[in-house]
Structure 1
Amino acid sequence: MERLEFGAALRQLREATAPATLGLPIGRRRTQGLRREELGVLAGMSADYVRRLEQGRSHPSAGVVNALARALRVGRADYERLCALAGYAAADGQVPTDLGPGATRLLERFTDTPMFVSDAAMNVVAMNSAFLALGHWELTGGPWDWNIAWRTFCDPVGGFKQSTADATDHEAILVARLRSAVLRYPADTSLAALVDEMRTRSRLFDTLWRTPRPVTVYESTGVFTDPDGDSVTLAGNLLAIPGDDLAALMLTAAPGSPDAAHLAEIVSGAGEPTIIKVGRSGPG
């Protein structure tokens, strides 16, 4: 059964891969996506072996799974799925931080919605100018200035406040995401150092790490206040971007509310919509 499922997943990925994205000529094609011969050449194996894999008549080694994943340029989620179906653990590696095309499109298309994209370790990777315009995120010069979990538990952002109920939901989400990241990327020393430091610095984080709360919603509300004292209440919704192991947080106001009108004013004053990539010490 596992061989059949692996074969079906491999064929689906092959047929969904556009030849042009791999630098191959398009020409006239009878089949959708890549030909088995093309995948075989890219992965260093015969087309017949690719056929046997897709038909569930052969079991791949871990090296073969890695070669196929590299040849198809699949995202982390699809790679992990192939590994699981083949009965192997995915390569540990480092937490990916590349801003993939899916995340870029979200930031480009929702220019009037404050949004940021974070990696699996909860580091902000990029944001749009609408998020930056909120003006609430002051920098302290620390090494984890742009880590959402660190700023929540160890170095709170002064311009962001939540009710007890919303803070409880937010904290549960952050701990659950970090625990999942540690399981997937046990070789990432930066992630391990972050978690160790947080457990040392925050009694609440250490308690939740040992006894995590269940995550019931992926939404919470907060009040964002800029340096001039102007505030707006926004709800944050977390959207997974599984192919690149990223997540986007979108901030919205209740339709027709004074907060929605205020948010529109804030965004309109931000100037030309842009995407800001973020580093450890601030926007770059």
Structure 2
Amino acid sequence: MERHEFGVAVRQLRESTAPAAVGLPIGRRRVQGLRREELGELAGMSADYVRRLEQGRSHPSAGVVNAIARALRVGRAEYERLCALAGYAAADGQVPNEVGSGALRLLERFPDTPMFVSDAAMNLIAVNSAFVALGHWELTGDPWDWNVAWRTFCDPFNGFKQSADDATDHEAILAARLRSALLRYPADASLAALVDEMRSRSRLFDTLWRTPRPVVAYESSAAFIHPDGGAVTLVGSLLAIPGDDLAALMLTAAPGSADAARLAEIVDHAGEPAIIRVGQSGPG
């Protein structure tokens, strides 16, 4: 099954790759994307071997997977997927933490909505000024200051309050995402160290790691206590950013509610919209 799925993935990537994107002339073409001969030449293999791979009749080596990924110039997430389908860990196995164009566009298009972008290990890598305006993310000097999971289980925010049900959902999401990240990036020593330290420091996290709770929905509600003493209740919705193995969290209030009006005041006082790339010394 994995061999067949790998072949399907290679064919889809080949047919969706524009020749110009890999340095080939466009010319007159009767097929979509690249020809098998062209992929073979770029990857250093025969067109017949590419055909066998796509038909699931040959199992690729790790070197072949890397060659195909380089030839097609795929993004990190697609490279990880090809490796997984072929049964290998990625060559370096490190959590990617580059803010891609898709993530930047998302932050730019919602300047009045508090939002952050995180990597697969739950490190914040970019935020917008509306998120900063909430004023709850104080730094403590800890090595994992910018990691959402660490701050939830081991170093909680004073200005972030949740009901028991919302906390349960939030904790289940974070534990599930870290477990998934460690499976995809087994060679990331810093990610492994984070998980080990969290299991040592937080009994709750260790329990969730050993006996995961089911994730019902990738959102939860929380009250953010602003430094001026006021509070605003927002719902955080987690959105995947395909291609870069990143995620965005958008914080919204019910339309027409007192929380929506309060949020508008907070964001308005933040001044001109901006995107801030934040430092992080955790995994990735």
TM-score, normalisation: structure 2: 0.89
**Distance of 2:130 and 2:120 partners within structure 1:** 23
**Distance of 2:53 and 2:203 partners within structure 1:** 50
- Give the superposition deviation at 1:69: 1.5
Q: 1:41 to 1:270 in 2, by over 3 A?
A: farther
Q: Which runs of 5+ in 2 are unaligned?
A: none
**Distance of 1:236 and 1:61 partners within structure 2:** 42
Does the 8 A contact of 2:80 with 2:184 survive in 1?
Answer: no
**Distance of 1:36 and 1:176 partners within structure 2:** 39
**Aligned residue identity for 2:62:** A
Does the 8 A contact of 2:125 with 2:280 survive in 1?
Answer: no
2:148 pairs with 1:148: yes
Q: 1:2 to 1:95 in 2, by over 3 A?
A: closer
Residue 90 (structure 1) aligns with: 89
- SS in structure 2 of the partner of residue 45 of structure 1: coil
- SS in structure 1 of the partner of residue 233 of structure 2: strand
Does the 8 A contact of 1:236 with 1:249 survive in 2?
Answer: yes
Does the 8 A contact of 2:89 with 2:185 survive in 1?
Answer: no
Residue 199 (structure 2) aligns with: 199
Q: 1:32 to 1:214 in 2, by over 3 A?
A: same
Query: Which segment is superposed worse, 236-245 or 147-156?
Result: 236-245
Equivalences for 1:127-276 in 2 at 5 Å?
A: 127-276=127-276
Q: Which runs of 5+ in 1 are unaligned?
A: none
Does the 8 A contact of 2:39 with 2:72 survive in 1?
Answer: yes
**Aligned residue identity for 1:216:** V
Does the 8 A contact of 1:136 with 1:226 survive in 2?
Answer: yes
Residue 13 (structure 1) aligns with: 13
- Give the superposition deviation at 1:261: 1.7
**Distance of 1:256 and 1:73 partners within structure 2:** 46
CA offsets, 1:175-204, max 9 Å, x none? 111111122222211111111221222222
- Give the superposition deviation at 1:4: 4.4
**Distance of 1:4 and 1:208 partners within structure 2:** 34
- Give the superposition deviation at 1:27: 4.3
**Distance of 1:192 and 1:8 partners within structure 2:** 32
**Distance of 1:125 and 1:90 partners within structure 2:** 24
Q: 1:33 to 1:111 in 2, by over 3 A?
A: farther
CA offsets, 1:225-269, max 9 Å, x none? 221112211000111224222111111100111111222222233
**Distance of 1:108 and 1:36 partners within structure 2:** 39
**Distance of 1:273 and 1:27 partners within structure 2:** 44
**Aligned residue identity for 1:230:** G
Does the 8 A contact of 1:76 with 1:242 survive in 2?
Answer: no
Does the 8 A contact of 2:89 with 2:186 survive in 1?
Answer: no
- Give the superposition deviation at 1:161: 0.8
2:70 pairs with 1:79: no
Q: 1:215 to 1:55 in 2, by over 3 A?
A: closer
CA offsets, 1:55-96, max 9 Å, x none? 44443222212211122232344334433444x223261111
- SS in structure 1 of the partner of residue 191 of structure 2: helix
- Give the superposition deviation at 1:274: 2.0
Q: Provide the identity percentage.
A: 82
Q: 1:57 to 1:214 in 2, by over 3 A?
A: closer
**Distance of 2:2 and 2:149 partners within structure 1:** 37
